[in-house]
Amino acid sequence: MIPFDYQRAEDAAGAVAAVAADPDARFLGGGTNLVDHMKLGVAAPHRLVDVTRIGLDDVAELPGGGVRIGAGVRNSDLAAHPLVRGRYPALSRALLSGASGQLRNAATTGGNLMQRTRCVYFEDVTTPCNKRAPGTGCSALEGPFTRYHAILGASEHCAATHPSDMAVALNALDAEVRVLGPGGERTIPLDEFHRLPGDAPDRDTVLEHGELITAVELPAPAGAARSTYRKVRDRASYAFALVSVAAVLDLDGGGAVRDVRIALGGVAHKPWRARAAEDALRGGAPGEERIAAAATAAVAAARPLPGNAFKVDLVRATLGSVLRELAAGPAQEPAEPADPADSTENAVEGEGR
């Protein structure tokens, strides 16, 4: 590891200024991905700007029933927050299915969104990888270790997947990412936050150097919506997704689909919004035929690599099963604006983590 300077930022503006001024500086959240990458030689920043003590540790209710999650909120606190457990169970489930209890206690919301691929070739600095070392080639396209690689949206330059569970749920929940940069604030829909690899796989997201995630905002869930997250993996816990599904289903009084949102994990360079599957479900009750059509539509554009074609069937089966579960299950707690006293009590304080 190369030597580096460490500084604790005191506020968001200071953090942005410090990183923006130095092309070799990086924000440090919980460190569970960046410290690992510095050990592996995948990342070699000269300066770390710690953003865990800049007051972004609250989960707060927004007027209208949405929720604002500070970028510094730890994954464990977010998953356990009453507002999230009650209104966005898919998000709790996604967080809880990721990593381990220890890692979730350290990992932050911002760091989770920014975590990099677990592609074995990306993490092994002795192999060619366009994401880590642009222009060297993509080892995954040749295989043989393609189990965790993309079947959708890959390019001839990169077949890596985004490993975050949380981001898949946030996509299906239509979250927005709030960002502070040297030029001011902007808001990015989650679906536009991560990129497809194209010919620049070294860029995972649309963030520019020096831009800091300050919060993630969730709109209020629809009245009768139900949502969940299902993750399929090689062992029962503490493993990344082979395939995952986040889905939100809102049925009207007659049982017809009023709204549906589906995102897939483990299959693409970004959380994959399955819009064709959503379209196939709309217009009537979510019966067997419509569910089968949706599952087929979700993978119609799949182009598996040698060694990962099984993921096409796995997506179809997992999505079908999730949709059947949601269609049969009860609607979740509606988003009644909480008692203000309550929401203060429920705010996550980040003091001294």
Partner 1 sequence: MEADVTLRVDGTTRVVRVDTRTTLLDALREKLDATAPKKGCDHGQCGACTVLLNGRRVNACLTFAVAQDGAEVVTAAGLGADGAPHRVQRAFLDNDGFQCGYCTPGQVCSAVGMLEEAAAGWPSAATGDVAAEPVLDDAEIRERMSGNLCRCGAYVNIVAAVREAAADSAGNTGNTDSADSVTSEAAPAGGAEVR
Ligand X SMILES: Cc1cc2nc3c(=O)[nH]c(=O)nc-3n(C[C@H](O)[C@H](O)[C@H](O)COP(=O)(O)OP(=O)(O)OC[C@H]3O[C@@H](n4cnc5c(N)ncnc54)[C@H](O)[C@@H]3O)c2cc1C
Give least dist CB 327 to partner 1, A: 18
Report the partner that residue 10 touches, choosing among partner 1, ligand X, none (CB closer than 5 to 8 A by kind).
Answer: none
Q: Can the peptide bond before residue 134 be classed as cis, meaning omega within 30 degrees of 0?
A: no
At residue 269, what is the residue type?
H
**Looking at 114, 141, 222, 225, which residue binds ligand X (CB under 6 A)?**
114
Pick the piece of the chain touching ligand X (CB under 6 A) from 107-115, 119-127, 181-189, 294-302.
Answer: 107-115
Binding status of residue 118 toward partner 1 by CB under 8 A: no
Binding status of residue 170 toward ligand X by CB under 6 A: no
Counting Cα atoms < 13 Å in the Cβ hemisphere of 308 gives 27
Instruction: Please provide residue 248's backbone torsions phi and psi, each rounded to the nearest 5 degrees.
Output: -125, 125
Binding status of residue 351 toward partner 1 by CB under 8 A: yes
**Looking at 16, 51, 73, 251, which residue binds ligand X (CB under 6 A)?**
51
**Residue window 240-259: x/- pattern of binding to ligand X, with contact defined by CB under 6 A:** x-------------------
**Looking at 61, 76, 194, 274, which residue binds partner 1 (CB under 8 A)?**
76
The DSSP secondary structure of 159-217, one letter per residue, reads ------SHHHHHHHTT-EEEEEETTEEEEEEHHHHB---TT-TT--BSPPTT-EEEEEE
Here the tokens at position 305 are 């690599």
The DSSP secondary structure of 123-161, one letter per residue, reads H-TTS-BTTTSTTS-BSTTT-S--TTS-SSS-BTTB---
**Looking at 13, 44, 102, 142, which residue binds partner 1 (CB under 8 A)?**
102
Q: What 3-state DSSP class applies to 246?
A: strand
In the region spanning residues 202 to 231, those forming contacts with ligand X, defined by CB under 6 A, are 212-213
Q: Quote the CA–CA distance of 191 and 64 in Å, as a whole number.
A: 22
Binding status of residue 150 toward ligand X by CB under 6 A: no
Pick the piece of the chain touching partner 1 (CB under 8 A) from 145-153, 179-187, 218-226, 342-350.
Answer: 342-350
Number of residues in contact with ligand X under rule CB under 6 A: 30
Binding status of residue 124 toward partner 1 by CB under 8 A: no
Binding status of residue 32 toward ligand X by CB under 6 A: yes
Q: Are 246 and 232 in contact (CB under 8 A)?
A: no
